[in-house]
Every structure is written in C-alpha cells, then in structure tokens.
Amino acid sequence: MSGITYEDFLDLSYTPTETDLVCTFRIAPAEGMSMEAAASRVASESSNGTWAALHIDDTFTDMGATTFSIDGDTIRVAYPAGLFEAGNMPQVLSCIAGNIMGMKAVDTIRLEDCEWPEAIVEGYPGPQFGSGVRQEIFGVDDRPILATVPKPKVGLSTERHAEIGYEAWVGGLDLLKDDENLTDQSFNPYSDRLTESLAMRDEAQDETGEKKSYLINITAETNEMLERADEAASQGNEYVMVDVVTAGWGAVQTVRERCEDLGLAIHAHRAMHAAFDRVPDHGVSMRFIAQISRLCGVDQLHTGTVGLGKLANEDTVGINEWMRSDLYGLKDVLPTASGGLHPGLVPQLMDAAGGNLCIQAGGGIHGHPDGTRAGAMALRQSVDSVTEGVPIEEYAADHPELATALEKWGTETPR
C-alpha cells in the first residue's frame, strides 16, 4: 500500500506528454504557505488528491496532475488526458476551475490559459460554420457583418421589435439581435417575435437584395432551448443565440448537437462572464471562456471592443487570434465586438481587430438623431469608409447619416 501526499503533485523535472492538458494559473499563496506547497495543492485538488495522505492499492488508477513549472506567481500544471471524460465540458470545469478556486492554500487563483491536446479536443465538435458564416450565410468576405439590438433592452412590443429590425435591415445591417435578457416574456413572446421579425426580414431582403438574418435568443432550460431552436429552423432562420455562461456548458453542448441537425449557427452571448474574468487576480480568464466556447462549438462569440466600448477591457486581440488559431482542424469562431460602439469608433476597431468580425451596436444605432434606419446607414457607411480606404471624416462629407453620427458622438468612447 503506498500513499498519495501533496508532495506527489509537484515535479519540476516533469515534461508534459503530447496528450497532457497543460493549464497556466496565477496564484497567490496564503500566508505561511510556500509557492511550492500552494502549487502542489492546486494540482492535487484539481485532479485526485485531498488534504490527508491517502492509502491506495493496486486497483487504483493514478490520474494525478503535476505542477511542473513555477515562475513568479505563475504555475503550469499538466493533467493526464484520462482524467477527463471525453466530450464532457462540465467535468473539465469541475477539475480545473472547481474546488481550487476556493481552497484556503491560496488567497487568489486565476486560470489564465490552457494548451489543449488533440486527445481532448477530438471529443468536441467545434463550430459548425465559424467565421465562414459571413460567406455561407451572407455572401460577404470583404467586411465585418453588422448587427443591432433593439433598445430599450426589454419592454418593446413584438410589433415594435420587428419594426426596428426592419429599419435596421433596410438601413444596411445584416443581423437583428435579441438582447441577452430578452427571451419569452409576456410583452414580447418568443414565437410571435420570431414570426414577426422574420416577416420583416423577408421584406427587407426583398427591398435591399441583401441576405438578412436574426440572432434570436433561445436561452432557457435545455429542453425549452431545443424546442425554440426547432422553431427557429422551421421558420427558416439561420441562427440561434445562447447566453452560454448563464445557460451552462452542458446545455450549450446539447444545443450544439441539435443545431448540427438543424443547420443553425450559434451566436454566443457571454453575459455573466465578468463575474469571474474581470478581477485580474482571481477566477478564470475570458481567453479560457473563449477556448471552451470554441470546443463546445459556438460560431460567434462576444470578445470585447479592444477597449473602445463601454465595458471593461480585456485581451481581445489575443483572444481573437487564439479563436482563429489551428486547433486540430476545429473551425474558428467569429469574434463579436459590442458594447458602447457607434459609427465613429469603427475605423479604430477595425484597425485593431481586423475585418473578420461581427460588429454590434445598439445605442450607437437607435440613438442616432434621425432614428434607427439612419443609424444603421451610418454604421454601414463607417465600415464602407474603412474598406474603401477613405478617412471617415472625408467619407462623411457625402454621407449625411454618417456625418450626423460623427457630429453627435465623434470618435470618442462612451462611458
């Protein structure tokens, strides 16, 4: 009978195998706890150890993790692939983002990044379309696709919601999007909103000759989400939207499976992510949220506005690069920039984040002095100024909707 003690989980001479999952954490050991002692406890508690030395026999399968690198406040931990059930994202999180987030051995701990081995990635579908949605749904490959959320966020009637959608679509936007907290409320029921918005979509398509679509929010209990996805597909829509953090990762996996059958793209809203990725020293990073979102198979994901918008900044450019990186053949994810954006910010945004993007503006469209259609025209014109290589102020000289937007908001970030 041999035992397992904390010391078994620290080996600075260990070299990870190609099948290991390698996680990078930043930790602050508790008072009186050495970095080595805290680092071994992180590996232990996130794999198969606990606080007491344990007795084991030859029936035991050792799935213990190994802290193999300590560099300042940063540790790297290697996990055997066999610790993780294939294709079970909740169980992955229960290991690498579970008990260790609350263990007394560390004052703070943050999961910053994961290096995913093929042995784990092959258990997940990845995106059905990825950034290919631009071409496959809209026939666009030379500019960002543009979206708007009717505002106020909730409370609009179904008819008014659809009308705003029509104005935005004929003004030049590609996508109408539900807000993260609009689902199936009495003032704007899901089925009615779907039907009436798609009727307006069809009219806008006929009028503009451009493909238009709708990010309808199906977020709910899982079985309800499946029914709502079925309904969206049956009515000829191309997307569903899911609040992936509040819905839960197991539910996202179930919706992804159904969307494969239905041919629906998934737009992932990340509401609640800031509960654990905003504080720089504790929780999990947005980079990690983007990684598990890609594995679970969303096609579009909000990843920030490179500091231009109204919400806290993060490593948007680095996250977007990872979402496009090679990952054993998994499709990429189209970044969505949103939150406090308006036409005057588009050149800076595209300069920093490129054009393979979805740009969403709510207040920056509907707050336009001449209304939603003019706001949509201004946003499309601002994108056109970039793709045509003309300075936005010069472009605005013969594009009055853009000129009005610049006069109202300039190129400043709202607070």
Residue 306 and residue 401: Cα distance in Å, rounded?
25
271: tokens are 């509401």
Identity (one letter) of the amino acid at 62? D
| Binding partner at 277 among Mg ion, ligand CAP, none, C-beta below 5 to 8 Å by kind | none
228 lies in the site for ligand CAP, by CB under 6 A? no
Q: Are residues 265 and 128 in contact, defined by beta-carbon separation less than 8 angstroms?
A: yes
Q: Among 167, 174, 180, 299, which residue interacts with Mg ion (rule: CB under 5 A)?
A: 180
Stretch that binds Mg ion, among 76-84, 90-98, 177-185, 240-248 (CB under 5 A): 177-185
Residue 259 and residue 282: Cα distance in Å, rounded?
34
Is there a binding annotation on residue 180? yes
166: tokens are 């029509």
Stretch that binds Mg ion, among 123-131, 158-166, 180-188, 344-352 (CB under 5 A): 180-188
Is there a binding annotation on residue 135? no
CB-nearer residue toward ligand CAP: 180 or 332: 180
Please list every residue from 8 through 67 that binds ligand CAP, using CB under 6 A.
Answer: none
Q: Among 20, 174, 180, 277, which residue interacts with ligand CAP (rule: CB under 6 A)?
A: 180
340 lies in the site for ligand CAP, by CB under 6 A? yes
CB of 311 to ligand CAP, least distance (A): 4
Please list every residue from 4 through 43 that binds Mg ion, using CB under 5 A.
Answer: none
CB of 269 to ligand CAP, least distance (A): 6
Is there a binding annotation on residue 273? no
Q: Which of 161, 212, 267, 269 is catalytic?
A: 269
CB of 386 to ligand CAP, least distance (A): 19
Fill in the per-residue mask, 342 to 361: x = in contact with ligand CAP (CB under 6 A), - = not in contact: ------------------xx
Q: Could you tell me which residues come within 8 angstroms of residue 230 by beta carbon, excluding any fewer than 6 positions away?
A: 258, 262
Q: Among 171, 283, 335, 339, which residue interacts with ligand CAP (rule: CB under 6 A)?
A: 339
Fill in the per-residue mask, 126 to 165: x = in contact with ligand CAP (CB under 6 A), - = not in contact: -----------------------x-x-x------------
362 lies in the site for ligand CAP, by CB under 6 A? yes
Q: Are residues 204 and 233 in contact, defined by beta-carbon separation less than 8 angstroms?
A: no
CB-nearer residue toward ligand CAP: 111 or 149: 149
Partnered with residue 239 across adjacent β-strands are 265
Q: Among 67, 291, 338, 404, which residue interacts with ligand CAP (rule: CB under 6 A)?
A: 338
Tell me, yes or no, if 269 is annotated catalytic. Answer: yes
CB-nearer residue toward ligand CAP: 140 or 271: 271
Tell me, yes or no, if 282 is annotated catalytic. Answer: no
| Binding partner at 342 among ligand CAP, Mg ion, none, C-beta below 5 to 8 Å by kind | none
Fill in the per-residue mask, 296 to 315: x = in contact with ligand CAP (CB under 6 A), - = not in contact: ------x-x-----xx----
| Binding partner at 304 among ligand CAP, Mg ion, none, C-beta below 5 to 8 Å by kind | ligand CAP
363 lies in the site for ligand CAP, by CB under 6 A? yes
Residue 393 and residue 391: Cα distance in Å, rounded?
6
Residues of the shown chain interacting with Mg ion in the complex, contacts defined by CB under 5 A: 179-180
- What residue numbers does the annotated binding site for Mg(2+) cover? 177, 179-180
- What residue numbers does the annotated binding site for substrate cover? 153, 270, 302, 338-340, 360-363
Residues of the shown chain interacting with ligand CAP in the complex, contacts defined by CB under 6 A: 149, 151, 153, 179-180, 270, 302, 304, 310-311, 338-341, 360-364
